[in-house]
Structure 1
Amino acid sequence: MQKQKGMTLIGLLMAISLVILVAMIAMKVVPTAIEYNSIMKAINSTKNAGTTPKDIQLAFERQRGVGYFDAVTSKDLIIVRNNDGGFDLSFAYEKKIPLIGPASILMEYSGTTAKSGIVATKPTKVD
């Protein structure tokens, strides 16, 4: 007798269910990554858009309308003057992606235009 080669029906069903699970997660995560890339493009293009933080915020809002993202607004931007006399922009946000039932994925995104790559944080109020 020869040994049989191939995949059983149960193995095939398990492989298909694994592929479907990965595809479902990817379909929910990929749009948030695209949104993050749009935000990074917007802050890079508005970095030198004005001489005041208000000018930069207005330019960012225009880019926000074109880029079709809503995770970050101009009020969420952290604008800091750098050593070159220009401005560095930073942002950070979280995106909760529901999966099945109580299971979800929490994505934490942050970005900056600073050369150091360190994301600035908003100062906390001390009472």
Structure 2
Amino acid sequence: MPEPAADRLPAARRPARHATRRALRGLGLIGLLLLIGLGAMAAVLALRAAPLVGERLTIQRSLQRIASQGLESEAAIRAAFDKQKQIDAAIVSLDGRDLEIRREDGRFLIDYAYEKELPLVEPVSLLIRFHGSVAP
């Protein structure tokens, strides 16, 4: 019976049998628990950040609707956004006075930027900066 290739090597270069078995064992219990813990933390973070992202999408849609109306003054745009804010309770982070409105090529461009702080664990929080721009 021919001897295996690993047995023909000198003893110093021969791979240890327990090392190759250990490498093939896969994920251990501690590794699995750490992986589950990290996944759970990521899921909690995503669930807590979802309302903030939803608010940003609502603000973007509202401003696109307002921009498509073709309003002719900054005051009218701000008033329309404040009216939309009263109608849609999801918008709480931004007011009409927070909008940056500028005129370019005969049309208004509406920019907005705001920050939201998401508390995670007592001394740690996550700061999310939202910004966007809307043009008709």
| TM-score, shorter chain, exceeding 0.5 | yes
The offset of 1:22, in angstroms, is: 0.6
Q: Name the CA distance, whole Å, in 1 between partners of 2:107 and 2:82.
A: 19
Match of 1:93 among 114, 121, 126: 114
Q: 2:66: which partner in 1?
A: 46
Q: 1:71: which partner in 2?
A: 93
Task: Tell me the TM-score normalised to structure 2 length.
Answer: 0.72
Contact 2:64 2:135 in 1 (8 A): no
Q: Name the CA distance, whole Å, in 1 between partners of 2:68 and 2:135.
A: 12
The offset of 1:30, in angstroms, is: 2.0
Tell me the secondary structure at the aligned position of residue 126 of structure 2: strand
Percent identity reads 30
Larger Rg over CA atoms: 2
Q: Which runs of 5+ in 1 are unaligned?
A: 116-127
Name segments (4+ residues, structure 1) moved above 6 Å: none
Task: Tell me the TM-score normalised to structure 1 length.
Answer: 0.77
Matched ranges for 1:18-33 at <5 A? 18-33=38-53
Q: How many residues align?
A: 114
Tell me the secondary structure at the aligned position of residue 121 of structure 2: coil
Q: Name the CA distance, whole Å, in 2 between partners of 1:96 and 1:22.
A: 17
More helix by share: 2
Tell me the secondary structure at the aligned position of residue 68 of structure 1: coil
Q: 2:128: which partner in 1?
A: 107
Q: 2:8: which partner in 1?
A: none
Q: Structure 1, residues 48-97: CA drift from partner, whole Å, max 9, x if none? A: 432222221222123222262111111111111221x2211111111111
Tell me the secondary structure at the aligned position of residue 122 of structure 2: coil
For the aligned residue pairs, the C-alpha RMSD in angstroms reads: 2.3
Tell me the secondary structure at the aligned position of residue 92 of structure 2: coil
